[in-house]
Chains A and B, each alone.
Chain A
């Protein structure tokens, strides 16, 4: 019998029941909630007179709607200017209080983007099943966990039963061996993967990212990669546990200690695919081939190396794809053949669950240090992923690097990644963004998003256009 993949092991360890109709009950160790996808689930519980099955498995924090200016943040929930956003954040607080769920409220230093807070507090651990009503939950797969997004009906289901009704996915291996060129970051790696396999490339699969490039990558880098598994169509992305994983988890607030720690580590060391494991789909790439990436279109698969150019729809033979390219170019106001480095940017956003951790902030600060925001750049902001990231960055003096350069330093939240709060693009504005989606209107009605790494976004902030960051460092 063939060995097991990492995903097989995680699945087997959480299988409560395989039903005759092909579905399975999968046990969920950790459930994370935020204000946008949970109110209807709590309402469902109330209407049915149900209680959370295991209340301590849940943890919550508001992130999507929270303002990021210090002024608006000072008064807590009451200070949220948008009345609809205020109700939603207040509703999360009320629901968590009513059902006894631990919540890091708006001005708690532990508050932040759910997918930043989970790993950094140790609320998410290797070997866990982790779900949240948010598609970027896959971020936690970097810990060697099975983590994925769910809809609101499933949020209610997990609250009420601690299980998901689901079906096993297929196994996909994305193997990147070799060494990354200097200046190429985890974000570039994942964008290059999505560019290769497409936004539906991983549909129906759980992706394991393996190979030398991921072994060499930091834990936060692995989180950036797993975060965007969903942009490759896969609900879950994961990386095997190694010494880096264990080092990362050690000492975190909710991580086990003493004898429990030793017992946990013994089990976690088994969280890797067996050498003879079989994958349904295998994709292989070489680290040396990956360059800094910039997206040009309205889907994350529409991406090219920074030294490339905007594609020509006329050279695309598939009619549906040709139409997609045409429509993307029209929306993005770009011309076929235009060099990426000729595209000027109006706004720069460094943040989101993809790229708002301390290493991201450091990377950006390294590029900005000693430079100033280009005059043509109207706004540039750095939004740390959590209160803890913010405090760490400030302790290192990184906020000063940005402020001195004319770049804003904000309070933690999802911010302009999806513009549910006040941080948004104006119609027609073009943004170099470290977020994960360049969909039409994602960052604001009529806004145009180019996905890049933190270093590339910082380079755009100080030059006013896309440049190969390697020319600056």
Chain B
């Protein structure tokens, strides 16, 4: 897995609450059996003026001029500023795949939906929870200053603004550790194969109907 240590990059807005995974990557793109190539269809319904289809040449599609990611000032953005309950809805990991494929490394919001939050860590994408007031401040500053950049440091668990404000964020130790190192979850779990086998042996005795 891709690691995440520290990123300094342009911040772009997704300025609405309850952004669901259907909005992040609409279902027609879920028919792919690959885990890459979703970036051009990130926020497809908002980003383009027509209905997108899989395997289409997206460069020929009409762009929605009012959608921030289409604006020159947010090109190359690596940090997405979002509102509360970002990523609600389905468990589709295509949502973090699409954000990652587009070039985002980090999403900052006041809260995230559980499954989306979890899925991000499996893909080198860091979801950062700040308070509503802090997120409000970042939105205000970003709208004011073109080329607005933030620094997100996972080791320090901090977000730093161009003005020098530093906000601390919380992250679980095990998630932080895996993301900093880019560790393969499965390899790590298989180090505990004996514990899993031991559990199964005991469970076969106590609940044998689960093993028929």
Contact = CB atoms under 8 A, between A and B. Distances in A.
Contacts of A199: 18, 85, 88
A267 B207 CA distance: 9
A165 B191 CA distance: 13
B210 A36 contact: no
A327 B212 contact: no
B133 interface: no
Nearest to B83: A320
A256 B111 CA distance: 42
B186 A39 contact: no
B190 A88 contact: no
A327 B45 CA distance: 14
B20 interface: yes
Contacts of B7: none
Given A17-B195, A163-B189, A324-B16, A23 B174 contact: yes
B210 A441 contact: no
Interface string A40-79: 1001000010100110000000001100000000000000
Given A437-B89, A445-B45, A39 B33 contact: yes
Interface residues of A, number: 79
B91 A149 contact: yes
B127 interface: no
A442 interface: yes
Interface string A444-461: 011000000000000000
B80 to A, nearest CB: 17
Contact of B172 (A22, A85, A87): A22
A234 B174 CA distance: 22
Contacts of B60: none
Contacts of A43: 33, 35
Interface in A140-194: 148-154, 156-157, 160-163, 165, 167, 169
Given A151-B122, A203-B114, A440-B45, A157 B185 contact: yes
Interface residues on B, range: 35 or more
A65 B23 CA distance: 19
B88 A420 contact: no
A354 to B, nearest CB: 13
A233 B207 CA distance: 32
A200 B113 contact: yes
B61 interface: no
Given A88-B33, A135-B91, A263-B209, A156 B186 contact: yes
A263 B208 contact: yes
A128 interface: yes
A318 B208 CA distance: 54
B113 A233 contact: yes
Contacts of A167: 172, 174
A203 B177 contact: no
B186 A161 contact: yes
Given A40-B33, A149-B115, A420 B28 contact: yes
B92 interface: yes
A204 B85 CA distance: 12
B51 interface: yes
A40 B35 contact: yes
A25 interface: yes
A84 interface: yes
A49 to B, nearest CB: 12
A446 B212 CA distance: 48
Interface string B102-119: 000000000101110011
Contact of B92 (A37, A65, A163, A200): A37
A431 to B, nearest CB: 15
Contacts of A125: 209-210
Q: Which of B88, B111, B212 has the most CB of A within 10 A?
A: B88
A1 interface: no
Contacts of A234: 114
B162 interface: no
Contacts of A230: 89, 115
Contacts of A127: 207
Contact of B209 (A16, A157, A260, A324): A260
B16 A235 contact: no
Nearest to B198: A16
Contacts of B209: 125, 256, 260-261, 263-264
A23 B172 contact: yes
B149 interface: no
Given A23-B174, A27-B196, A199-B85, A150 B186 contact: no
Shortest 3 CB-CB contacts between residues of A and residues of B: A153-B122, A256-B209, A149-B91
18 contacts: A21-B172, A23-B175, A37-B92, A37-B93, A39-B33, A40-B33, A127-B207, A150-B91, A161-B189, A165-B188, A199-B18, A200-B111, A263-B208, A427-B51, A439-B89, A441-B26, A442-B22, A445-B26
Given A150-B115, A165-B189, A204-B114, 19 more contacts: A36-B31, A84-B54, A85-B31, A91-B33, A149-B90, A150-B91, A154-B118, A161-B193, A163-B196, A165-B174, A165-B188, A199-B88, A200-B18, A203-B111, A230-B115, A256-B209, A260-B208, A320-B16, A442-B27
Interface of B: 16-18, 20, 22-23, 26-28, 30-35, 45, 51, 54-55, 83-85, 88-93, 96, 111, 113-115, 118-119, 122-123, 172-175, 177, 185-186, 188-190, 192-193, 195-196, 199-200, 203, 207-210, 212
Interface of A: 16-17, 19, 21-23, 25, 27, 29, 36-37, 39-40, 43, 48, 50, 53-54, 64-65, 82, 84-85, 87-88, 91, 125, 127-128, 133-135, 148-154, 156-157, 160-163, 165, 167, 169, 199-200, 203-204, 230, 233-235, 256, 260-261, 263-264, 267, 299, 320-321, 323-324, 327, 418-420, 427, 437, 439-442, 445-446
